[in-house]
């Protein structure tokens, strides 16, 4: 190109000089230069128009030969065009590969923009959720998959959460939805068909519910007879001990059945009503007094730092407090201390039960809310532990959009913290700490 430019400039100067010389011979040197410049301009405009035409038609045969400036421009242009074409082909190939690999995924994947509109979706999203890759592009995904839980998930920034929604294409089908953020304001919605899992969970829940229900009547009869036999003076003395043991075990079975029934009721009910108001501070006092009266307990301190009420189910929250408090009592020595606390902040409400009892080894913490899990099954059986209390607590919290955190150290004590979202509170005004008088 530099050679061609020099050649072009030299040619132009020579032409202008020749024009000037011829003009000078005739006494009009300037006009001679002007005519030469016009000729040069005309030549360039012709080539420019030919080049524009060639770009339009793709026929560059005029520019293929020679080494003038226009041939140089053409070869630079065609080199860049070839490079752009190669990039385009590579990019298309890459897109095809990405599409093929996402289409091979068994789960649905939907790319969403910041307004939750569909940018792209794979084949599985079409099969399991009925999305149409072309027709639904640009539509808001929650206008197509209509479910209030999904709308809430998309609006919230709690991307760690997963929800199950009814399938829009399959009767009795269920989809698991998870949102993963990426790039600038983009999200990927993953959809998985979990119909089999939900069906199995329901079967298990129904089985446990039905079996517990069926066991209730025979157990009531057995307990009734054992109660009358233990009070009956005509029963021979040697039977006293076995009857007492049978009564004990029957009572334990009654408790297991009652807790299993409560669990299966909690599992099958939807989220707890949020129109009822629960006075948490009052409930804490009631539960504490009830347990104080039930027997010898460690000192129970009550710290109420908020008069906010909770939108939810009164008897479920009462069961939650009773479970946590009776656990703390069972695992804290009589000279220990238990603290019940209710406080709120703009983030929500926190109900905690802390003790300075025996504590729990860190390795057991993740399994505490599993049904029938006990750190020491033998001891738990002796002190009346069934292993369902914390499972009930977890379900009650789930139905109130809340979660449970457990902090514990062996030999130091434990703290069970229930965190309720701000949306479940009726007022969130902090009040000075107050200590209701202790009951005997």
> With respect to ligand ADP, which residue has the nearer C-beta, 349 or 413?
413
Residue list 372-391, contact with ligand ADP (CB under 6 A): 373-376, 380, 385-391
Residue 298, interface with ligand ADP (CB under 6 A)?
A: no
Through-space distance between the first and last CA atoms of the chain, rounded to whole angstroms? 102
Choices 3-11, 170-178, 240-248, 367-375; region in contact with ligand ADP by CB under 6 A: 367-375
Q: Which of 212, 358, 394, 399 binds ligand ADP (CB under 6 A)?
A: 358
How many angstroms separate the CA atoms of 65 and 50, rounded?
14
Quote the least distance from Cβ 439 to ligand ADP, whole Å: 21
> With respect to ligand ADP, which residue has the nearer C-beta, 238 or 296?
296
Quote the least distance from Cβ 109 to ligand ADP, whole Å: 38
> With respect to ligand ADP, which residue has the nearer C-beta, 108 or 389?
389
> With respect to ligand ADP, which residue has the nearer C-beta, 308 or 368?
368
Residue list 302-341, contact with ligand ADP (CB under 6 A): 323, 327-328, 331
Quote the least distance from Cβ 377 to ligand ADP, whole Å: 8
Give the residue among 224, 288, 229, 220 at the shortest CA–CA distance from 258. Answer: 220
> With respect to ligand ADP, which residue has the nearer C-beta, 131 or 302?
302
Residue 284, interface with ligand ADP (CB under 6 A)?
A: no
Q: Which of 150, 257, 260, 368 binds ligand ADP (CB under 6 A)?
A: 368
Quote the least distance from Cβ 390 to ligand ADP, whole Å: 3
Quote the least distance from Cβ 317 to ligand ADP, whole Å: 16
How many angstroms separate the CA atoms of 138 and 142, rounded?
12
Residue 357, interface with ligand ADP (CB under 6 A)?
A: yes
How many angstroms separate the CA atoms of 325 and 429, rounded?
26
Q: How many residues bind ligand ADP (CB under 6 A)?
A: 22
Quote the least distance from Cβ 172 to ligand ADP, whole Å: 32
> With respect to ligand ADP, which residue has the nearer C-beta, 388 or 425?
388
Quote the least distance from Cβ 435 to ligand ADP, whole Å: 22
> With respect to ligand ADP, which residue has the nearer C-beta, 271 or 384?
384
Residue 355, interface with ligand ADP (CB under 6 A)?
A: yes
Quote the least distance from Cβ 307 to ligand ADP, whole Å: 27
Sheet with 348-355: list strands edge to edge.
Answer: 403-409, 413-421, 348-355, 337-345, 299-306, 430-434
Q: What is the crossing angle of helices 69-104 and 2-25, to 10°?
A: 150
Which residues form the interface with ligand ADP (CB under 6 A)?
Answer: 323, 327-328, 331, 355, 357-358, 360, 368, 373-376, 380, 385-391, 414
């Amino acid at each position: 190109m530099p050679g061609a430019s020099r050649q072009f400039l030299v040619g132009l100067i020579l032409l202008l000089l020749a024009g000037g010389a011829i003009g000078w011979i005739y006494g009009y040197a300037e006009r001679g230069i002007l005519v030469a410049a016009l000729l040069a301009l005309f030549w360039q405009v012709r080539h420019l128009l030919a080049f524009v035409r060639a770009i339009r038609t793709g026929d560059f045969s005029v520019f293929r030969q020679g080494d003038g400036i226009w041939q140089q421009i053409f070869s630079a242009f065609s080199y860049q065009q070839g490079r752009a074409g190669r990039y385009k082909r590579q990019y298309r190939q890459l897109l095809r590969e990405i599409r093929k690999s996402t289409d091979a995924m068994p789960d649905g994947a939907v790319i969403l923009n910041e307004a939750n509109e569909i940018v792209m979706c794979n084949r599985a999203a079409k099969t399991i959720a009925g999305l149409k890759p072309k027709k639904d592009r640009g539509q808001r995904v929650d206008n197509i998959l209509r479910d209030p839980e999904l709308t809430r998930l998309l609006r919230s920034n709690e991307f760690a959460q997963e929800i199950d929604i009814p399938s829009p294409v399959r009767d009795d089908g269920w989809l698991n939805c998870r949102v993963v953020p990426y790039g600038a304001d983009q999200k990927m919605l993953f959809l998985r068909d979990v119909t089999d899992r939900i069906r199995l969970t329901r079967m298990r829940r129904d089985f446990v519910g039905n079996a517990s229900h069926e066991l209730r009547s025979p157990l009531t009869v057995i307990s009734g007879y054992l109660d009358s036999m233990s009070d009956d003076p005509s029963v021979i003395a040697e039977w006293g001990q076995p009857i007492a043991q049978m009564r004990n075990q029957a009572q334990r079975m009654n408790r297991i059945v009652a807790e299993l029934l409560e669990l299966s009721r909690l599992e099958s009910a939807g989220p707890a009503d949020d129109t009822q108001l629960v006075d948490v501070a009052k409930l804490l006092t009631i539960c504490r007094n009830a347990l104080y009266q039930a027997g010898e307990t460690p000192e129970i301190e009550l710290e109420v730092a908020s008069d906010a009420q909770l939108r939810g189910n009164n008897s479920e929250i009462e069961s939650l407090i009773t479970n946590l408090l009776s656990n703390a009592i069972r695992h804290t020595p009589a000279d220990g201390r238990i603290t019940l606390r209710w406080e709120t902040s703009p983030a929500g409400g926190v109900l905690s039960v802390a003790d300075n009892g025996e504590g729990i080894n860190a390795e057991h913490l993740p399994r505490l809310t599993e049904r029938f899990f006990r750190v020491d099954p033998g001891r738990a059986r002796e002190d009346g532990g069934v292993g369902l209390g914390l499972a009930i607590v977890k379900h009650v919290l789930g139905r109130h959009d809340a979660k449970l955190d457990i902090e514990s150290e062996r030999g130091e004590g434990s703290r069970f913290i229930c965190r309720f979202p701000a949306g479940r509170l009726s007022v969130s005004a902090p009040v000075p700490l107050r200590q209701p008088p202790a009951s005997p």
